[in-house]
Structures are given as structure tokens and as C-alpha cells.
Chain A
Amino acid sequence: MNLDNAEIKKIRDGLGQGMAELGAEKKDMVVLVADTMESSRAHFFAEKFPARTIQVGVAEQNLAGVAAGLAYEGKVPYVVTYAAFLLGRPWEPIRTMIAYPENHVVFVSSHAGLATGQDGPTHQMTEDISITRCLPNFTVIAPADYEQARKAVKASYDLKGPVYLRGVREGTPNFTTEKTPFEVGKAQVLREGTDVTAIAHGYMVYWLLQIAEELKGKISIEVINLHTIKPLDEKTILKSAKKTGRVFCAEDHNIVGGMGSAVAEFLSQNHPVPMKLHGVYDQFTESGTPKDLWKKYKLDKEGTQEILLKFLKKK
């Protein structure tokens, strides 16, 4: 890991780059786009493999439907656009055409979370994890940085059934390296601790690592990168919760139904411990730069630390 001088890179670039690299190896891979070719980073693939790039226009239900048909025929479709439209618009078609028959379609988003920024709440998708993880057969992955996004794309090819890969528009620290292991369904304990378990997905993992470093000596924080939200790595979570006795979850996503909910669903039934779910508090926010949004809604490092300390003060 590269914690001190991590380069700022975009998770969506990692997903786009990963698709372009995977396309060279896998001839049955097809990429489908819905008029957001560049902003969703599908153009890296499209420039190399135009014949295997399908442009459906602004029609996300058809996007899902064509992908389903291709998957039934054994192609491996990667379907790319903004999270809100990719999953929100055609949710029932995805349920019927892809999740139910277990079609292997990989949904690759960009523009998830408040990190979407100026476009505002219509485009800041903060319910994507909720609406995918509630569907049977789905695998849900939110990579922590550019490098992990690249790896996740490649790993997704060999999975079965529908897969969701969560992409973020804004640049964030690229703190893992080519050598950092990545295994779907295996949570990463990036830093061991004894006082509290702090779990995140996406770029907020980096904030947690920074917080843990800053508070070292005072509070011992175990930091887990829960990049795969479904299937949940119950073993790792249970082990950590048993050790620390307290769990703090942080995510750029609605706290209703997100990663924190998934962890709470599991722990509440198996090893109940005090928990705090930090994230977007069931609201639509507003336009603004990602930095300003993070600050106002306490999703930056400082805000997250404030909420964590408040949680730890509670008896």
C-alpha cells in the first residue's frame, strides 16, 4: 500500500482501463453504452474494440435487455453508464431478465455517491448498493481505488450471475498497488486494532486509514476494506467484531440498505455489538463540488473522524 503519497486517480478510470485490458484477452466480452461513453470511461474499450461496442442511446431499459439477450447466448456483457440510470431506471427489467435467470452481466457504473458533485441529487446515486444487494444472485463490489477497480473488472469476468461494480467520478487516493491482493468476497483487514472496527468501501477506506494513523496511541482502530458487499465476508467481520466489540461503518451511500446495513443485518443476528452507520442520512443533498459536499455532509476525513469519535464516547 502507498499511504503517504498516494496519487489522485479516478475509480471510474480504473474500471474503464480494466475493461480495455480484459477485452484484449476475452473475445466474448461485449461493452454496451447508453450515450455516456466518455464520462463512463467505456471509450478506452471502444477505441480498441469498436466491433464489440454496442451503443444503445439514451435507453437504459433496452440497455439491460440487450445485455440479457447477449448473456443468454454466452457473451459476457459489460454494461456501462451512470449508477442512477444503470440500475435505478431498469431495476425491474434487471430483476426479471438478469438476476432471476442468473445471467452473467457486469454492471459498471460511474457517478455513484456524493462524489458525483455538481450534477446534484438526481445524478448522485446513493441507493445503488441497496437496490442491487437486495436481488438474489447479485455480486456487489465497490472498489476502494483506481487500482482495485482495475482488478475488480478482471475478477468479475469469472464470476457467475449479475455483478455490480461501483464507480466514482471524482479522483481519490490510489493507495493500493498492483501487488495488493484482491479477492472477490474477501474483506481486507488493512490495519489491525483492538478498540473499534471501522469498515468502509470505496475511497472512504483511505480516510479510515488516515484517521487510524492520526489517532494511534489513543485509539486502536481496525480498518477493514469491505470492497465486496455481497456476498458478505461474514467470517472476517465476525472475527473483528468479537475482538473490538464495536463497529463503525462509513460509506458514500444512503445508510438505508447500504454496506452498513449489510454488516448490521449480519452482526445483529450473530454477534450484536454497538454500531454506528455513517453515510448519507436518508436524504437528497444538493449540487456542489465533491469537496464541499463531503465537508457539509461529513463524508470527508474530518467529518468521518468527528462522527467516529462521537460514537466512541457513547457508553
Chain B
Amino acid sequence: MRKELSIKELEKKASEIRQDIIRMLEASGSGHSGGPLGMADIFTALYFRVLKHDPKRPKWSERDRLILSNGHIVPVRYVAMMHAGYIDKKHLLTLRKIGSILEGHPSVHKIPALETSSGPLGEGLSQACGFAMSAKLDGKDRDYHIWCLMSDGEQQEGMTWEAAMFAAKYRLSNLTAIIDRNNIQIDGNTEDIMPLDPLREKYEAFGWHVIDMNAHDMEEIISTLEEAKAITEKPVCIIAHTVPGKGVSFMEYDYKWHGATPNKEQAKKALGELQHES
């Protein structure tokens, strides 16, 4: 059994993960910054507290399944998986480079523990439904949990709502969706591009149990994720209120950092802020 980290230690781990994300993105020169930084606390809570998993047995049949729908934030997952022991840290500076196992968008050919290959938006929830159905067919829906991480922007995809209907129809309570509600997408703020609100009411109307969550409060994240697992009536949707670019002052809330990476000087400044904070 791995040692359980305290809240303080988890917060420190999240900061280390953010720092490695900056290093990774600076070396890559291509990729996304806002989403990975915003989701670092949730990924830390998942990999170091909530997930039932074993890095030594990545295909253990009773592991929790973590399905990343918005594949473009995969740098946060790569780094979290490095810290958890799935991926060797020697790959840190190889993101998006030819021959690297760290594809720009996740590929199960390169890293089977990613569960799915992804990137094109709106496709994760359907696949997560497939994983959840498989567990149901095997009578194992109480044995492990399916987590689907989505962006808020991809709630604009019709396919997401096809899956939302499906999960409610089949009462996939072994499925929890977590939406990164950071209010930005490539072209601007979600409510300007194509309004999503009232998002909570939409999921409720589709038959889901919805929980709003402050995604930068480690204690709240852990209790919310545990609560989601305990609900056995319906699929659960957690609306995770995140700050895009969290932890780096000049990236926070700015949609221009959705699909941009820091240069050397910006990376140095970002690392300074993150190290100071932790």
C-alpha cells in the first residue's frame, strides 16, 4: 500500500506537478497551458488519494478507469502519472517531439495506462459509458469506478448530450463526470462563444446528480470525489470550478493561454511564482 499523503502534502504535490507542467510545455514549445494548470489539483487528488489503482499493475482489472475526454490537457496527466510512477521522468522534456511516448494528444499505443486515445472533443463521455456498461454486464459496477474528465467547451458538442441521456437511461452510477468549468475555450470565454449556463440545471434535467465544487480546495475536492462515488442512484456530474492557468499570475483567467506555451523567460517567471507559493 502506498502511503496516504496529507492535505498539506497533496497541495505540495500539486505545486510540483504544476512546475513540471511548465518545464514540459516550455521544452515542447507547443501545447496547452491553461487547462493543465487549472486541473492540477484534481489530478493530484485522483492519483494520490481517490483513484483505486496500482502503477505497478496498470491493467489491473479492478482499477478505477480514468477517461480523459479533452485530450489536449494531457500534459497534466503525463506529469501526474510520472509522479505516481507510471511514466519515467526522463520523458519530461520530450512532449510532442518525434519518437516520444508523450504524444500531443494521448495515445494508448504509446501509453496503455491512458485507457483511451483522445483529442477530438465531445467523445469521452460516450466511451466512459461503454466502460461503465462493461462493468455492469460483468456485475462489477460496485467493484471499481469510471471517471470521465471533460472540458466545459466540449459541452457544446452534441455527442456529449447523447451520452448524457444514455448514462441516465442505464443508471450508470458507477460513472462520475468531472467538468473543468474554467469558462474559457480557444476563441474566448465560453459564455460569449456559445453559452453553457445554466450547466447545472442542464445535467439535472438530463437525469444526473450534480455537485458544484471549488477545484482548488484540496479538502473539498477529496470529499466531493468520495461523495460522488457513494451515490448509487444516478450518474454524477461534478462541475469543477477551476481557474485556467492557476498558480501563474499572468496566465490565470486569460483565454489566450488556452493553447499557448511559455517561452524561456515566461517559464522562469512562472516557476518562480509556483516555487514561492509552495
**A residues apposed to B, CB below 8 Å:** 30, 51-52, 54, 56-57, 59, 61-62, 64-75, 77, 92-93, 96-97, 100-101
A65 is contacted by which of B126, B135, B137, B165 (Cβ under 8 Å)?
B126
Q: A66-B130, A68-B126, A69-B131 are in contact. Are A61 and B162 (CB under 8 A)?
A: yes
Chain B residues lying within 8 Å of A92, measured Cβ to Cβ, are: 120
A69 x B120 contact (CB < 8 A): no
Q: Assess whether A69 is in contact with B137, with CB atoms less than 8 Å apart.
A: no
B129: chain A residues within 8 A (beta carbon): 62, 65-66, 69
A69 near B127: Cβ-Cβ < 8 Å = yes
| CB pair B163 A65 closer than 8 Å | yes
- Min CB distance B262 to A, Å, is 29
Nearest B residue to A69 by beta-carbon distance? B130
Contacts A51-B137, A54-B133, A59-B166 given; does A101 touch B128 at CB 8 Å: no
Interface size of B in residues (CB-CB distance below 8 Å): 31
Chain A residues, CB < 8 A from B115: 72
Residues of B within 8 A of A65 (CB): 123, 125-127, 129-130, 159, 162-163
> Is B109 in contact with A73, judged by CB distance below 8 angstroms?
no
Given contacts A62-B163, A68-B116, A69-B129, 18 further A-B contacts (CB under 8 A): A30-B137, A65-B159, A66-B126, A66-B130, A66-B133, A69-B116, A69-B127, A69-B132, A69-B134, A71-B130, A72-B108, A72-B115, A73-B130, A73-B131, A73-B134, A73-B135, A93-B120, A97-B117
Nearest chain B CB to A184 CB, angstrom units: 24
What's the nearest-Cβ distance from chain A to residue B101, in Å? 15
Tell me if B127 and A61 are in contact (CB < 8 A): no
Number of A-B contacts (CB under 8 A): 100
Which of chain A's residues have a CB closer than 8 A to the CB of B158? Answer: 61
Instruction: Say which residue of A52, A56, A70, A97 sits within 8 Å of B123 (CB atoms).
Output: A97
With a cutoff of 8 Å between Cβ atoms, the chain A residues found around residue B242 in the complex are none
- Taking a contact as CB atoms under 8 Å apart, the answer to whether A72 and B131 are in contact is yes
Which B residues lie within 8 Å of A51 (CB)? 137
**A59:B137 contact, CB within 8 angstroms:** no
* Separation of A70 and B128 alpha carbons in the complex (Å): 9
Are A69 and B126 in contact, CB atoms less than 8 angstroms apart? yes
Interface contact B126-A52, CB-CB below 8 Å: no
Whether A96 contacts B119 in the complex (CB less than 8 A), given A66-B133, A75-B134, comes out as yes
Q: Are A97 and B159 in contact (CB under 8 A)?
A: no
CB contacts (< 8 Å) of B127 on chain A: these are: 65-66, 68-69, 72, 97
User: Can you list 9 A-B pairs, Cβ within 8 angstroms, ordered by A?
Assistant: A62-B126, A62-B162, A62-B165, A64-B126, A65-B129, A66-B127, A69-B133, A71-B130, A100-B107
Bitwise, B111-149 to A at CB < 8 A (1) or not (0) is 000011111101101111111111101000000000000
The smallest C-beta distance from B167 to any residue of chain A, in angstroms, reads 10
A1 to chain B, nearest CB (A): 40
Contact A96 to B130, CB < 8 A, known contacts A30-B137, A51-B137, A101-B109: no
Beta-carbon nearest neighbor of A60 in chain B: B162
Q: Least Cβ distance of B153 to chain A in Å?
A: 17
Q: Which residues of A contact B132 (CB under 8 A)?
A: 69
A57 to B165, CA, bound (A): 10
Interface centre among A51, A57, A66, A69 (most CB of B within 10 A): A69
Instruction: Give 6 closest A-B pairs by Cβ, nearest first.
Output: A69-B130, A65-B126, A62-B162, A59-B162, A73-B134, A69-B127
